[in-house]
Structure 1
Amino acid sequence: MTEAEWLACEEPRPMIQFLRGWVSDRRLRLFGCACYLNLWIRFPVAELYRDVLRASEAYADQRISKSQFKLSRKKGDWEKVPCVTGEAWEVAQGAARDCSGESSKRVQRGDKWEDQVIWERPEETVIQVGLIRCIFGNPFRPVPFSPAWRTCTVLALASQMYDLRDFSAMPILADALQDAGCDRTDVLDHCRGAGPHARGCRVVDQVLGKE
């Protein structure tokens, strides 16, 4: 995938495939969690499955062990449990497919048969691409982050948003970063943009020193 293809891409699957082996397992797992959290805003889900998702985030951040995480998954119907186990890139792909209702069917084009991807909830793919851009940015142009920008205010804002999963203060974070001397338009525009934002957001992670 080229930079132009990355910037123009409108499907999460090829983007995740490209990221495999280039980005941290933590961010891939957090992307998978973000897919479900976004979907569950609009669909009721049992609390025990939210517990599984919280455990997945904790495992991604190395706050619980793998055995503790596996134990949390055994509490519910395995067919309904979110796709949050396995290799990190499998979690990212599985969550994106599950939340968008992705499937494929064979269609005939001329004298050939091809697989056509269809989505039960195509609106989710739009949000997922937005989440990928939030969490991973443009992998062709990594953004340097100056330690001087980590003022007390900047750190407090980033920590609060990460802990509460409430990213409504992102524009305020942009102001705080600018006051600290940040002049990177890609950083400031990301904070002031419409989002979506989630745990793993590249700017918040850079503030908190997370990989």
Structure 2
Amino acid sequence: MTEDSWLTSPDANALISFARSRKTAWRRGAWGRKMRQVWCHFYRQLWDRLPDDSFRTALTAAEQHMDKVISRDEFRYACTDALQTLHWLKSPLSNPFVGFLTQVEGSKCNDLVTRHHPPELREAVRDIFGNPFRPVAFASTWRTSTAVGVAQTMYDARDFGAMPILADALQDAGCENANVLDHCRDEKQTHVRGCWVVDLVLDKS
């Protein structure tokens, strides 16, 4: 895959496959977190269509575990009811959700999400992984209280309307990296929870 095809490909599966082939390009553990963010984003789009509240509980717990709010054991416990439901559920959503819940047992991510993905998932993948052809060395001095505060508010609220404000805060802190600033200021960009710039500001691995 070339940089141009990464930026323009309509195939989320191809993007994820390429990101998998470049796992070492990210900080230790970062690729796994990014892939889990893709999964969580995918199921958030299906929130009202999930079979019952046990699945929504499991999804919320997955996000909390990813952010180290709850332990792995607490995550597993939160998934208990959803796993039991899957023993008898005959829903078209059950198969992709089985893939999601394999995270409870530590299985590697597979392609179940991308075989069921909505078209907009490709933009979320690009937002979460960034551009693997242009890695950014993020300076710790850019993590000012203002930048971190703006990023944390957006992350918690899942509302990324303040991305241009984050760009201003980063620039005030000395960031002149065009990839970072342009990503924040481009009105056509899709931003989701796990956005690569927001994660860098919040120092999430």
* TM-score, scaled relative to structure 2: 0.77
Tell me, yes or no, if structure 1 residue 140 matches structure 2 residue 133: yes
CA distance in 1, matches of 2:191, 2:60: 17
Contact kept? 1:148, 1:180, Cα under 8 Å: yes
Amino acid at match of 1:201: C
Q: What are the Cα deviations for residues 143-195 of structure 1, in whole angstroms up to 9, with x where unaligned?
A: 12122211111011111122222222212111211222222221112112333
Match of 2:4 in 1: 4
Contact kept? 2:54, 2:81, Cα under 8 Å: yes
Alignment of 1:27-106 (within 5 A): 27-40=34-47, 43-45=48-50, 46-76=52-82, 77-78=85-86, 79=89, 80=93, 82=97, 83-86=99-102, 87-90=107-110, 93-98=111-116, 100=117
How many percent of aligned residue pairs carry the same amino acid? Answer: 41
Contact kept? 1:134, 1:198, Cα under 8 Å: yes
CA distance in 2, matches of 1:74, 1:96: 25
- Shift in CA distance, 171/190, structure 1 to aligned 2, threshold 3 Å: same
Deviation at 1:49, TM superposition (A): 2.4
How many residue pairs get matched? 182
CA distance in 2, matches of 1:191, 1:48: 35
Show structure 2 runs of 5+ residues with no match.
none
- Shift in CA distance, 88/164, structure 1 to aligned 2, threshold 3 Å: farther
Alignment of 1:150-169 (within 5 A): 150-169=143-162
CA distance in 2, matches of 1:138, 1:13: 16
- Shift in CA distance, 88/168, structure 1 to aligned 2, threshold 3 Å: farther
- The structure with the greater share of residues assigned to strand is 1
Deviation at 1:69, TM superposition (A): 2.1
Match of 1:104 in 2: none
Q: Mark the structure with the bigger radius of gyration.
A: 1
Amino acid at match of 1:202: W
- RMSD, matched Cα: 2.2
Amino acid at match of 1:30: Q
Indicate which of 165, 178, 192 corresponds to 2:171.
178
Deviation at 1:39, TM superposition (A): 4.0
Deviation at 1:44, TM superposition (A): 4.7
Contact kept? 1:59, 1:65, Cα under 8 Å: yes
Show structure 1 runs of 5+ residues with no match.
101-123
Q: What are the Cα deviations for residues 1-26 of structure 1, in whole angstroms up to 9, with x where unaligned?
A: 33333233210111111222605211
CA distance in 2, matches of 1:59, 1:88: 16
Deviation at 1:67, TM superposition (A): 3.3
CA distance in 2, matches of 1:188, 1:151: 15
* Secondary structure in structure 2 of the residue aligned to 1:95: coil
* TM-score, scaled relative to structure 1: 0.75
